[in-house]
Amino acid sequence: MSPTAPATGDSPAEGRPGPFADLAQFVALPRIGALALSVDGTRLAVSVQTLDPQRTKWQSALWEVDPAGERPARRLTRSAPGESSPTWAPDGSLLFTSARPDPEAAEEGEPKPALWSLPGAGGEARLVLTRPGGISAVGIAAGTGDVVVAAATMPGGSEAEADEERRKRRKDAGVSAVLHEAYPVRFWDHDLGPAATHLFWAGRLPADEPGAEPVRLRDLTPDAGPPSGAGDQFALSPDGRLLARTEDVPDGPAGRRTRLVLTSTDDGRTRPLVDDPAADVYAARFSPDGSSVVCVREALSTYAEPPDYTLLLVDVADGTARDLTPDFDRWPSAPQFSADGSAVYFLADDDGRHALFRVPVDGGEPVRLTGDGAYSDLQVARDGSALYALRSAYDSPAVPVRLDPEAPLQDPPVLPSPGSPGPLPGTLHEVEATAADGSRVQSWLVLPEGASADAPAPLVLWIHGGPLMSWNSWSWRWCPWVLAARGYAVLLPNPALSQGFGREFVRRGWGEWGGAPFTDLMAAVDAAEQRPDIDATRTAAMGGSFGGYMANWIATQTDRFRAIVTHASLYDLDSFVGTTDAAYYWEKEWGDPLAEPKRYEQNSPHRFADAIRTPMLVIHGDKDYRVPIGEALRLWYDLQKRGIPSKFLYFPDENHWVLTPGNSQVWYSTVLAFLAEHVLGERWERPELL
């Protein structure tokens, strides 16, 4: 466990259950995210989520962390709506978004997220920018302090007054209808249109002085419209003259891809910078001198091949591009330049970790800078003295750390930050298995306290989502320590399709989810069950999203488990591909079900429902547009009409995840009760609030 600040809540040593054994304590643990480094490198800000006084939702506040690691963290903001998206201006002020009310205006209705500024020398935060539909993202030019914001805008609503008037007319007329003219129409948990994201130029924000003129926003993307608008992935050049952003364009009759464009902030003129018909291009960042851009190129997947990722170094003047990672058999993400522009840092999954790498811009092999752990929110000090990031692992939630810019395989020091979960109720182990074709299958194994040959622990196989991801970092939503606190061992394998093990490892399961991914999981379970501290007679399987698909597939292929939990799961692949929010993405892998039905017929769990014998708990949220609720409804009906012992935990107002504290506790308590009944042989106890 990485060292952090003193633990919150009670510990088992004090005679009360720790937070992993008490769900009310667990959801109250502070959750750190959104790291931001000031321009002069002397201040770090993080967002910290905690429960509100009513304990019904999480609030986010901004805290300051000492980059030197000497001073304790201190809270900077406090409001009921909370604050997020911290960004430092060159003058030392901290910009953030918040839906807190304007103290100098009489508000009508619910306040929308706006841009606020907290003075560097201290004092009250002030409201600096608003839009009728709220502000969703902010970017700042490191050299000048010029600001661009993203805001949802109605058609013809570039001016705030026009946007407000169009919204009011729809509301007064009782109209909620949306006319779609292009695919897609939904995204994750919300409907697209009629408003779409526009990017607005604010320039340099005025000082907080009496009589200062309000900022007048200028629309840099007035032609942006549904379905995707101008997007919210953008970056300003250091001098503020250019805006690099992703732009959605059609890819076939109902498909989409992204290209990289440059917009002049002076006049709004836009030109393509990287427009590749065979790839999505995104995540652009400018070099310190503004002459180059680094970005991610994701080759579009096909029926035969999974996607592939690399980094491009692009000349801003003429658009010539060079591959920075041509022979790197991992998938780079989140690139940004070193302080002097001589190298690019990036993140990539690698062997069950999410590691930080450095690659020289003039060529060379990427060097892995971190050992264990999963890194995010990388911040580069402008003087080149240090890097900062959030680090998590299966034995630590996210904490801020300081890294050396060049040293390989670091175990960086943790900076003092708010909160800690305290002692973990068990131990973490890395284990391996050999698949049927000889491939190595890496897994994490969480063992509860006291597990031994004399007291072997029941085993829960927990399958990750994606599928193009891997188990490598702490998760509040999928926390194995909650199960470990109740005596379960938890196996977290990375089977075929998992990233971080090379493209060939992904290719083994491409379009054949019921093949190598399934046999890899069974090989991992077989190996775990050989351990004397594991009870092979008491096992369960569970997973969400793709992991839910695998849970469903396992139910049709074997009865070796006593119970199966399936969350937000794919069940009827034909139905799923036709109703998910981005059908074109999945159809690349599965094919047109009318023209190429083979993969649907061979890999869809619903076709093998008669083989299910294992009790199942089905969980789904109605606001899930990635895996629509129809998947759960079909599965639930198939289980019920076949007399399979089963339950259906339904969330009318949750999406692909379960995001509210109360529902999160109910999720865990229902899963635990179901496992206790079928794995431990205990009497079923219905959760109190259900």
Asked if residue 289 has pLDDT above 50, the reply is: yes
Number of H helices, E strands in the chain: 11, 37
Which residue, among 50, 45, 42, has the nearest Cα to 68 in the 3D structure? 42
CB neighbour list of residue 209: distance below 8 Å, 6 or more residues apart: none
Buried b (16+ CB within 10 A) or exposed e, 566-581: bbbbbbbbbbbbebbb
DSSP category for residue 290: S
The full set of domains in the chain, from first to last, is: 426-678 (3.40.50.1820)
For residue 451, what pLDDT band results from cuts at 50, 70 and 90? Answer: very high
Strand pairing class (218-219; 234-236): unpaired
Q: What are phi and psi of 205, to 5 degrees?
A: -70, 140
Buried b (16+ CB within 10 A) or exposed e, 197-234: bbbbbbbbbeeeeeeeeebebbbbbeebbbbbbbbbbb
Cα angle 184, 189, 193 (rounded to 5 degrees) comes to 45
Of all helices (H) and strands (E), which one includes residue 377?
strand 374-380
Asked if residue 111 has pLDDT above 50, the reply is: yes
Distance, in Å, from the CA atom of 197 to the CA atom of 231, rounded to the nearest integer, reads 6
Distance, in Å, from the CA atom of 41 to the CA atom of 67, rounded to the nearest integer, reads 8
- 677-688 mean pLDDT: 97
- Check residue 208 and give its pLDDT: 74
3-state secondary structure 379-401: EECCCCCCEEEEEEECCEEEEEE
CB neighbour list of residue 452: distance below 8 Å, 6 or more residues apart: 532, 533
- 225-238 mean pLDDT: 91
Contact between residue 83 and residue 61 where contact means Cβ atoms under 8 Å apart: yes
Helix (H, G, I), strand (E, B) or coil at 370: strand
- Check residue 4 and give its pLDDT: 32
- 233-250 mean pLDDT: 96
For residue 9, what pLDDT band results from cuts at 50, 70 and 90? Answer: very low
Contact between residue 590 and residue 573 where contact means Cβ atoms under 8 Å apart: yes
Distance, in Å, from the CA atom of 48 to the CA atom of 59, rounded to the nearest integer, reads 8
- Check residue 12 and give its pLDDT: 40
Average pLDDT, whole number, for the chain? 94
Asked if residue 606 has pLDDT above 60, the reply is: yes
β partners of residue 71: none
Contact between residue 523 and residue 435 where contact means Cβ atoms under 8 Å apart: yes
- Within 13 Å of residue 517, how many CA atoms lie on the same side as its CB? 29
Cβ count within 10 A of residue 326: 9
Residue entry with tokens 């608008």: 229
Cβ count within 10 A of residue 72: 12
Q: What are phi and psi of 256, to 5 degrees?
A: -135, 150
- 191-197 mean pLDDT: 96
Distance, in Å, from the CA atom of 65 to the CA atom of 74, rounded to the nearest integer, reads 7
β partners of residue 680: none
| Percent of the chain surpassing pLDDT 90 | 92
CB neighbour list of residue 292: distance below 8 Å, 6 or more residues apart: 286, 313, 314, 315, 316, 337, 341, 361
Q: Which two tokens stand for residue 527?
A: 């190996």
Distance, in Å, from the CA atom of 675 to the CA atom of 189, rounded to the nearest integer, reads 29
Largest CA distance in the chain: 77
For residue 214, what pLDDT band results from cuts at 50, 70 and 90? Answer: confident
For residue 559, what pLDDT band results from cuts at 50, 70 and 90? Answer: very high
- Check residue 123 and give its pLDDT: 87
